[in-house]
């Protein structure tokens, strides 16, 4: 398997599997629930693909297969986890790329380890790729891989996709290693972003900071190669979610959830990784104020907030958890009654079935990030609303707002605006809800994750953009 060559190599910080314990307590691998692996799976099978990624933790594993997919784990030492993953990726790049919602930290030793780990990924990809193979590199943890790989293997076709926002020049410029990152990405033939604005930010920075000629979405390199920067908004397995939401066990579970919450008139729902970009604090405050204002009572409405544990060793994340749990305690202490908390808070992660049941149970889905590349939770909610009802309150600053225009769009920094939107969604009449939901469901059904993967691969493999054939203007 993985010691022979492959025609397609996927390179991502994480492998598409999780290490779990089976009923006998033995550790085994299970496919991750995310949509990315199901989108990429058909492409991997069709191209004899392999996936390189970090399995989490410091343990070393040999290449292995899960459900016929070839996986190659790359280990990280404790120091590399601290400096590459928690440090440069999630303490520097993540906040910098999300509008500096938290203050990015710049440390030279973090950068050195980021370079070192990127090189290891690039070297492994170079070993595994057949002559003329395609390599698809994913996300902000690996932005130097395209250039490193091109130096090792100029015969390869290289694509890069950034799952998170790409910031405006004014913010990106803070990065002491801005030029190296841009040059790293320019090793690819195709650089994909969530939104056209991000691709434009990149093109502008390349022109200003690296000094290359650009025209629309193309960069012309001195060696005659061209690089295309283009938007490919990611999506979900819409049909899969819809089928799950329609299934009997999920429908029953949704009923049971409503019952357990005391059958209130309206259930509000938030589901997020516990991340400071998600605007969880602001939305809970808005909800709490609506109750104190008398807009509705704890008998009328409850807010279910699922906070999925994430990056728990990074300081900003630890502080965020404390802030949110303090607020939830305060809201419930001030506004709740016995058996009727205002906020039902769950610090855990759930399998897809439970998520689908929550989506079906909730009348109002509240997605209020300060900045988000796309936000798939918003799309999953829409896919699960098989009765064409339910309201989506969505931040203008989530990539998904470009497609889900019929949501109640909000500015998460505007507390009164957010309260007004939550109340409108609470009071909306069924006809209005159906009109909006139908339009959003059409959008999601037509633009699913398979269409996303296909359009990226088609563009990457399109001969007309080949680095060997392109000519300077």
CB closer to ligand G6P, 13 vs 305 = 13
CB of 371 to ligand G6P, least distance (A): 12
390: phi then psi, degrees, rounded to nearest 5: 90, 150
What pairing do the DSSP bridges indicate for beta strands 64-66 and 69-73? antiparallel
Residue nearest to ligand G6P (CB): 163
CB of 379 to ligand G6P, least distance (A): 13
Residue pair 364/425 in contact (Cβ under 8 Å)? The answer is yes
Beta bridge partners of 272: 307
The full DSSP string for 159-180 is EEE--S----HHHHTT-TTHHH
CB closer to ligand G6P, 13 vs 344 = 13
Residues 6-25 within binding reach of ligand G6P (CB under 6 A): 13-14
CB closer to ligand G6P, 163 vs 438 = 163
Cα dihedral 329/330/333/334 (nearest 10): -160
CB closer to ligand G6P, 84 vs 212 = 84
CB of 274 to ligand G6P, least distance (A): 11
CA pair distance 278, 371, nearest whole angstrom: 7
379 binds ligand G6P (CB under 6 A): no
CA pair distance 97, 372, nearest whole angstrom: 10
Q: Count other C-beta atoms under 10 Å from residue 269's C-beta.
A: 23
Instruction: Return the residue of 17, 149, 164, 335 that touches ligand G6P, per CB under 6 A.
Output: 164
Burial 378-413 (b: 16+ CB within 10 A, else e): bbbbbbbbbeeebbbbbbebbbbbebbebbbbbebe
Please give the size of the binding site for ligand G6P, defined by CB under 6 A.
7
CB closer to ligand G6P, 14 vs 371 = 14
CA pair distance 24, 158, nearest whole angstrom: 43
The two tokens of residue 27 are: 């550790």
The two tokens of residue 92 are: 């520097």
CB closer to ligand G6P, 56 vs 196 = 56
CB closer to ligand G6P, 11 vs 164 = 164
CB of 275 to ligand G6P, least distance (A): 8
Compute CA distances 61 → 15, 85, 117, 289, whole Å. 12, 19, 17, 51
CB of 464 to ligand G6P, least distance (A): 30
The full DSSP string for 292-360 is HHTSS-TTTEEEEEEEE---TTSHHHHHHHHHHHHHHHHHHHHH-BTTB-SEEEEES---HHHHHHHHH
CB of 164 to ligand G6P, least distance (A): 5
Residue pair 16/38 in contact (Cβ under 8 Å)? The answer is no
The two tokens of residue 390 are: 């339910």
CB of 93 to ligand G6P, least distance (A): 11
CB closer to ligand G6P, 395 vs 470 = 395
Q: Rg for the chain (alpha carbons), in Å? A: 23
Beta bridge partners of 6: 129
CB of 374 to ligand G6P, least distance (A): 9
CB closer to ligand G6P, 180 vs 310 = 310
CB closer to ligand G6P, 93 vs 284 = 93
Spacing of C-alpha 440 from chain mean position? 20
Residues 431-470 within binding reach of ligand G6P (CB under 6 A): none
CB of 310 to ligand G6P, least distance (A): 6
Instruction: Return the residue of 19, 31, 107, 163 that touches ligand G6P, per CB under 6 A.
Output: 163
CB closer to ligand G6P, 139 vs 448 = 139
Residues 129-148 within binding reach of ligand G6P (CB under 6 A): 139
CB of 163 to ligand G6P, least distance (A): 4
CA pair distance 236, 379, nearest whole angstrom: 7
Site string for ligand G6P, 274-303 (x = CB under 6 A): ------------------------------
84 binds ligand G6P (CB under 6 A): no
311 binds ligand G6P (CB under 6 A): yes
Instruction: List residues near ligand G6P by CB under 6 A.
Output: 13-14, 139, 163-164, 310-311
């Amino acid at each position: 398997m993985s010691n022979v060559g492959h025609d397609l190599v996927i390179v991502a910080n994480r492998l598409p599997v999780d290490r779990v314990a089976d009923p006998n307590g033995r550790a085994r691998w299970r496919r991750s629930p995310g949509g990315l692996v199901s989108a990429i799976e058909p492409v991997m099978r069709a191209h004899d693909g392999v996936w390189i990624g970090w399995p989490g933790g410091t343990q070393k594993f040999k290449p292995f297969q899960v459900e016929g997919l070839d996986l190659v784990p790359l280990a990280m030492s404790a120091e590399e986890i601290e400096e590459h993953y928690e440090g440069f990726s999630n303490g520097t790049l993540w906040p910098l790329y999300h509008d500096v919602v938290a203050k990015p930290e710049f440390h030279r030793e973090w950068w050195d380890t980021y370079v070192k780990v990127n090189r290891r990924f690039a070297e492994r990809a170079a070993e595994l790729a057949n002559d003329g193979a395609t390599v698809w590199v994913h996300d902000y943890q690996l932005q130097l891989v395209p250039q490193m790989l091109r130096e090792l293997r100029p015969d390869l076709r290289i694509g890069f996709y950034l799952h998170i926002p790409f910031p405006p020049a004014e913010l990106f410029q803070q990065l002491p290693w801005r030029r190296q990152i841009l040059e790293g990405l320019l090793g690819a033939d195709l650089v994909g972003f969530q939104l056209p604005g991000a691709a434009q930010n990149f093109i502008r920075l390349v022109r200003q900071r690296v000094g290359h000629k650009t025209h629309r979405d193309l960069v012309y390199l001195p060696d005659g190669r061209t690089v295309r920067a283009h938007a490919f908004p990611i999506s979900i397995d819409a049909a899969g979610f819809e089928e799950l939401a329609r299934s009997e066990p999920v429908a029953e579970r949704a009923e049971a959830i409503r019952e357990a919450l005391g059958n209130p008139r309206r259930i509000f729902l938030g589901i997020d990784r516990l991340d400071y970009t998600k605007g969880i604090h602001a939305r809970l405050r808005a909800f709490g104020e609506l109750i104190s204002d008398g807009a509705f009572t704890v008998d009328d409405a409850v807010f279910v907030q699922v906070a999925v544990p994430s990056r728990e060793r990074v300081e900003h994340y630890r502080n965020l958890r404390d802030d949110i749990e303090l607020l939830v305690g305060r809201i419930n202490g001030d506004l709740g009654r016995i058996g009727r908390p205002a906020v039902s808070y769950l610090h855990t992660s759930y399998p897809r079935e439970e998520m689908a049941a929550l989506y079906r149970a909730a009348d109002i889905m509240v997605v209020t990030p300060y900045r988000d590349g796309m936000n798939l939770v918003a799309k999953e909610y829409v896919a699960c609303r098989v009765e064409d009802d339910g309201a989506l309150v969505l931040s203008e600053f989530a990539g998904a707002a470009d497609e889900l225009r019929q949501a109640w769009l909000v500015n998460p920094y505007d507390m009164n605006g957010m309260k007004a939107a939550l109340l409108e969604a609470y009071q909306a009449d069924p006809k209005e809800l159906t009109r909006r939901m139908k339009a959003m469901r059409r959008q999601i059904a037509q633009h699913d994750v398979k269409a996303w993967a296909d359009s990226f691969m088609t563009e990457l493999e399109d001969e007309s953009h080949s680095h060997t054939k392109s000519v300077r203007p």
